Structure 1
């Protein structure tokens, strides 16, 4: 199965230079710009024009309408499978998606570090093959520029949970500076942030081949 990974497009999806062909397209959150229902409708039209047989979308901290008017947002997203602390099996591959990130300022789908996030990650099934979260685990693709220094801002509880699983891949975004591929044990970890730090949608989609 060929999986094409993108994230953090911030409603600039139509400016992405090229989307590779594949079986499944994953969008790991921050798909919207202003976080409105109009943004969802435009994203949905774009997704409908892509040739991938399956599209999976999770929300991110900019995707307010999925938190504030979830029924309307889901109804508008007819061309993708939306995951929010749940999963889907596609051709024998088990996917699980979750939008939560550690609290930082006042954004959507944020929870305090510690018990609240720990409890969310415990919901990830043991047999998950491909995990999709908006934010990164601690220390992997999570180095953000904070003033004059860089800081690892990922979730330590998410890191602990994925070390308990036998994942084939973990796809995330959120920290634009962390774009790229990483290895943790046998699992491929992908920060698929499409937008750069300057919000230019020029980071190429990352392609995975999963058996």
Structure 2
């Protein structure tokens, strides 16, 4: 049975970066399942169709999906991809309100090689983040803000590839929850002020789907 919830608590199950290995994940029960992008392996419509069938099998009464940099069909075959998502709310610079909470989802990440939904740092990304409404309760982005759960330890030292413009926008909002992925090494949670930040990357740095879903009662 799904989590019954109460009038003022929603159990949110957070995943991200499943890369078409969603059927290998044990997903806890809850009221809402959020997938923060990179749901697909190579980004095909066939992969997306299987993901949507999997969503249909899960007991959560609502699901939210955003795209990530691997999810090419949402960028290149937009209409066909959106039609295939029948069992989740697909958000792309758009909102949905569920049980009194206001959600906003956006797929963009700073340019890194040549991936889907990449934008140059600076004005191009800042314009996207400026669209986030002031009254948003839960923000879902594919990538992290700079300095928050975005640390990669490389042979040359520590790298933090999160988005500075997103960090600036998030700091000005009164969010309850910010969910993202993208940087597999950053998996975990960090409370900053009133906002809980969640890097829900399911795959680890070796692209193995071993990080368990993160469950939040909001």
**TM bin (shorter chain):** over 0.9
Question: 2:147 matched to 1:143?
Answer: no
Classify the secondary structure of the residue corresponding to 2:169: helix
Deviation per CA, 1:40-59: give whole Å up to 9, x if none: 00101111000000000000
Pick one of 174, 179, 185 that aligns with 1:177. Answer: 185
- Which of the numbers 66, 72, 75 marks the counterpart of 2:80? 72
User: What CA distance in whole angstroms lies between the structure 2 residues aligned with 1:150 and 1:10?
Assistant: 25
1:118-149 Cα deviation digits (max 9, x unpaired): 01000000000000000000000111244442
What is the rounded CA distance, in whole Å, between the counterparts of 2:168 and 2:158 in structure 1? 22
1:26 equivalenced with 2:31 (yes/no): no
1:183, CA displacement in angstroms?
A: 1.2
Residue 13 of structure 1 aligns with which residue?
22
CA distance in 2, matches of 1:182, 1:172: 12
Which residue in 1 is equivalent to 2:58? 50
Q: Distance in 2 between matches of 1:159 and 1:195?
A: 24
Pairing of 1:148-159 with structure 2 (within 5 A): 148-159=156-167
Instruction: Give unpaired runs (5+ residues) of structure 2.
Output: 1-9
Give the RMSD, CA atoms, in angstroms: 0.7
In structure 2, distance between residues paired with 1:77 and 1:122: 26
- Residues paired across the two proteins, number: 209
Counterpart Cα distance in 2 of 1:36 and 1:25: 22
**Distance (whole Å) between structure 2 residues aligned to residue 163 and residue 206 of structure 1:** 23
Superposition misfits of 4+ residues, deviation over 6 angstroms: none
